[in-house]
Structure 1
């Protein structure tokens, strides 16, 4: 047993007071005349022994009363195995889960309101000189402060539901960072403890912190969420047909029938559908629409599902472009294959340059550059093309076989491509096609048994020193590639082994040539993600955007909220760091001065949609070997185990009670002991 205020033990010297009173009894004796001395002597002997016993008992009660009264002021306690030191004071950190799932209800009402009531009860169970700290999913700076009890309760009143979603490991890490080694750190976590929040990985935490989990139980509720969306259209063109794939997920335990799904683009309804979603399953549906104009499109997919509604809408955005710029650099102006190909679709804006008259400064304007039969590709051109590809551009190379290996090997080496080994000529060789490549997705309705494939009779064989990242699209025998893709920085390079001239093969006249080049061009389009997740995606990738010294990029929502991101330039991309500034879902315009560069869509985190909860044993397993206690919210916070509350067993109340008890015993001894007189009659 230890004492919180051992200095009060000096007051034990007060025990001397009843002892002195016992030793020096200053009561005056009264003379009583008695007729028979023999009888008097007998009575005196009998009453003297009883008086001594009474005095000793009274003395003992007085000593014990004084001693326990002094102990009560010295605050005795029995320290527990937690290692907490009451001399250091307490820092009580309370985490309240204020995610969307805490909007659900039980018999006590809203889960968040119940958590706030429990937090108040916890605070009232501690001393006035203890410090408190409130943590929520927002991880705001004000939650780093240490508060007194009154300020802590005031901050609880201001707590509201937030779209931010965290994991338990993130919460534990944050609590450890905000701890104070000079105080006993006690942590309470009040949550519904969804499985997505708790996770499955072991929690890493400071063993000196004692954790108490107060689990808030919600009623089982059905929930259907608009889970995700993606586009089947390779590019978005004005007035063209569009297809979106929508996925709904049923997180409930019962099947859902005839869920109405609506698609709106720029606040105009474009498509509707009804879906049946089995319990615990996902269902996909394809929505077709058209009639879009040039520019940024703001789309919303919505369903009607009660009572959980935060995941009933999914925002997304994309851009409809009226054209795609393609550049061809040719060493033989007589070849018209590429011009005829791209002229067939008005979406492509083709510009041709001769090998002798190349304007390097215009390269960043084009999504795709095609080199066709260059006679003397220079090292300067190679350096410019390398920079173009590193910044996200796409490059296609059809070599000139007559130029030879001596000309093309340095050029290809500068682009980090395989070098020319030799020129192969002779009998026509048939190729094979990699049908699983994304370029051929949706190209073939069905695959014929004997497919007609391109053949070549002259081609370069390349010496592959490093095949990492290489993807063969059209292959020749002996593991040689006819048309292959190589990653390069943020872009891609497509290298052909043969030319487009008819005397070298039939690639330029083969039916596969048109979808091959079109798909290469479409895949070169720089598309941003259709949507981001608020509170989770803090790094946004955008097309290369130049910003002068006196300019800045701003994200601005329709309600006037402005966010200034941190800008970092990387090859081919501009990275925007928004940290935890963006909290609300919706549409945000990315602006540079007054011009809108992009429209970004943000949604709430769908992790909160899954209403499955972790069991108490799951929490104990995740904190295996650490000091934790798990409590049900149905218990009053004041009645929680005292070890979880104060990290010690305090005895001052018991000492005070014992002091009163011994004083009462003293009174009873004085009043009722030795009242019967022993007098013998003659």
Structure 2
């Protein structure tokens, strides 16, 4: 037992007052003379013993009355397991899950409505001086402050279903960051506790906060969602056939047959299909369509599935471009292989620059830069190319084998590439092709047994470096690469061991050269993601956008507008949207009156799995830390909050006992050992 105001215990010295009164009772008695005192003396002895007992009982009653009166002012209490002190006010933080899964209906209505009702009942169990904080999946700034009970109830009524999705760890971290010193920290989490929300990793809730989980009961529902979509087409060209792969997942316990699947582009139906999805399985289906015109395309995949419909549609966007820009920096004007290669297709817009007149400022406008036969590659060029590559650019290097290795090595080292060991000459050697490499995917319909391979008679051998990630596409004997890919930053550099001169080999005239270079160019096309996820993707990357001092970019939908934070990087513009996007759909990126791009946002699919964590699983997440888990179906709505989460104060009992002992004193004085007074005559 503890005391709220232990200083009042000094008042226990007041018990000396009734003791002193008892010891020094100065009441005077009159002497009465009788003729025969034998019988009177016997009566006096009897009354004296009863009088002593009465006085002791009165003294004890007075002492106990004083003790309990002092204890009442000292405010004794019995501590609860939560360690909360009644000397401090309560700061009650309540998390209300307002994700899509809370739209589920049970006997009490929707889970969100039930959560609101229970939150109001919990708040009613606390005092007027306690303060409350509301937390939802939106993590709104206005919910970070403590409010009164009346304001808290008003905020509860304003909660609506949101597309934002959080994890239990994120909610706990939010509660810890908003903790208020000098108050009893009490937290309630009202949710259906989906397994995707609870997670599997241990959570450290901290010792300063008392956690109470109110588990709302919902039935596991069958659900099929459109999980993802991706393109099999390397680039999007006007009029060409597009192939989109759609991924569906069945979260239910029963097989789903003949799920209607529809693809629309710019509100026009382009493809339909019927898909069967086994219980708990993930399937993919490929949809083909054509007839697209240049520009941004707003597309969507939709299915029909009940009763959950929030994940039945997936929006995505892509840009159909009528050109792909390629830059060729050549040290040998007579070399025409690159010009002939990319000039054969009108889709490629080739720009050629001599080595002596390079315009570095134009690098970000190209999807691919080819360096062919440079004689004096400079460190400045290496620096500019590295910056270009680190911002998702692609570079192909065909060296000039007649240039000394000492000239090329500083340039290669500046690009984080392996340096040249020596020039290999002699009998022509054949290379091998890594047919499993993505560069040759869909290139060969059938691979012959005796395949014609590129042959080189002169080539550079490069030093292997552990810090570089080499991916050999064309391989030479002795583990040497003829054509290899190196990842540098967010981009790629393709390094050839041989030149484009026919005296060094037949690579530029070999049939594999055309698809290889086309694939390299397609891989360099800077395609933005088909879609973003609300609450997960907060950063959007676009091509470099130049802005004046007072200009800003906007993301505009049909009924919503966002002004993102703009961050400029070399070759890229990054848009930080934070948590401003709350609704799925299409958003146009605008600058003044012009539309620069179109992006799509979708709801997080973590809410699609309608399986729930058990009470034991929730307790295991916190290890040895004690938490309280209430089942809304089994427990009464009061949840015994006052008894389970508050200290038991005893001051009222002390006052009652003090009054009782005062009453006992009065009764003892009035009725115990009552005798008649004898008067002398």
Which of the five TM-score ranges fits, normalised by the shorter chain? 0.7 to 0.9
Contact 1:392 1:571 in 2 (8 A): no
After superposition, where does 1:493-512 map in structure 2 within 5 Å? 493-512=493-512
Contact 2:101 2:610 in 1 (8 A): yes
CA distance in 1, matches of 2:488, 2:448: 34
Q: 1:30-66 CA distances to partner (integer Å, 9 max, x unpaired)?
A: xxxxxxxx99999999999999989988997898678
CA distance in 2, matches of 1:205, 1:585: 32
Contact 1:251 1:610 in 2 (8 A): yes
Residue in 2 aligned with 1:608? 607
CA distance in 2, matches of 1:151, 1:19: 56
Compute the displacement of 1:145 (Å).
Answer: 0.8
1:395 aligns with 2:398: no
Residue in 2 aligned with 1:678? none
- Residues 1:131 and 1:174: Cα distance change in structure 2 (over 3 Å): same
CA distance in 1, matches of 2:365, 2:583: 35
Give the TM-score of the pair, scaled to structure 2.
0.87
Contact 1:232 1:242 in 2 (8 A): yes
Q: 1:104-138 CA distances to partner (integer Å, 9 max, x unpaired)?
A: 12222211111111111111111111121111111
CA distance in 2, matches of 1:668, 1:447: 114
1:343 aligns with 2:340: no
Compute the displacement of 1:423 (Å).
Answer: 2.5
Secondary structure of the residue aligned to 1:521 is helix
Contact 1:207 1:627 in 2 (8 A): no
Contact 2:418 2:468 in 1 (8 A): no
Compute the displacement of 1:182 (Å).
Answer: 0.7
- When structure 1 is superposed on structure 2, of 146-155 and 398-407 the one drifting more is 398-407
In the comparison of the two structures, how many residue pairs are matched? 666
Which ranges of structure 1 fall in alignment gaps of 5 or more residues?
Answer: 27-37, 676-682
- When structure 1 is superposed on structure 2, of 101-110 and 385-394 the one drifting more is 385-394
Q: 1:654-674 CA distances to partner (integer Å, 9 max, x unpaired)?
A: 556667877999999999999
1:578 aligns with 2:577: yes
After superposition, where does 1:522-533 map in structure 2 within 5 Å? 522-533=522-533
Q: 1:555-599 CA distances to partner (integer Å, 9 max, x unpaired)?
A: 22221x222222223344322222222222111112222222211
After superposition, where does 1:37-56 map in structure 2 within 5 Å? none
Residue in 2 aligned with 1:484? 484
Compute the displacement of 1:250 (Å).
Answer: 0.9
CA distance in 2, matches of 1:473, 1:552: 44
- Residues 1:65 and 1:523: Cα distance change in structure 2 (over 3 Å): same
Contact 2:91 2:131 in 1 (8 A): yes
- Residues 1:516 and 1:639: Cα distance change in structure 2 (over 3 Å): closer
Give the TM-score of the pair, scaled to structure 1.
0.87
- Residues 1:431 and 1:73: Cα distance change in structure 2 (over 3 Å): same
Contact 2:80 2:645 in 1 (8 A): no
Compute the displacement of 1:444 (Å).
Answer: 2.4
Q: 1:275-302 CA distances to partner (integer Å, 9 max, x unpaired)?
A: 1111111111111111111111111111
1:222 aligns with 2:222: yes
Residue in 1 aligned with 2:103? 103
Contact 1:88 1:184 in 2 (8 A): yes
Contact 1:118 1:636 in 2 (8 A): no
Compute the displacement of 1:355 (Å).
Answer: 4.3
Secondary structure of the residue aligned to 1:402 is coil
- Residues 1:265 and 1:176: Cα distance change in structure 2 (over 3 Å): same
- Residues 1:369 and 1:488: Cα distance change in structure 2 (over 3 Å): same
- Residues 1:363 and 1:155: Cα distance change in structure 2 (over 3 Å): closer
Secondary structure of the residue aligned to 2:503 is helix
Compute the displacement of 1:388 (Å).
Answer: 3.5
Which ranges of structure 2 fall in alignment gaps of 5 or more residues?
Answer: 28-37, 675-681
CA distance in 1, matches of 2:120, 2:74: 28
Q: 1:71-123 CA distances to partner (integer Å, 9 max, x unpaired)?
A: 56764311134432211222111111111111112222211111111111111
- Residues 1:159 and 1:7: Cα distance change in structure 2 (over 3 Å): farther
- Residues 1:53 and 1:271: Cα distance change in structure 2 (over 3 Å): farther
Residue in 1 aligned with 2:211? 211
Contact 1:15 1:67 in 2 (8 A): no
- Residues 1:389 and 1:48: Cα distance change in structure 2 (over 3 Å): closer
Contact 2:125 2:641 in 1 (8 A): no
Contact 1:261 1:302 in 2 (8 A): yes
Compute the displacement of 1:450 (Å).
Answer: 3.2
Residue in 2 aligned with 1:268? 268
Compute the displacement of 1:365 (Å).
Answer: 2.7
Residue in 1 aligned with 2:425? 425
CA distance in 1, matches of 2:259, 2:280: 15
Residue in 1 aligned with 2:598? 599
Compute the displacement of 1:411 (Å).
Answer: 4.0
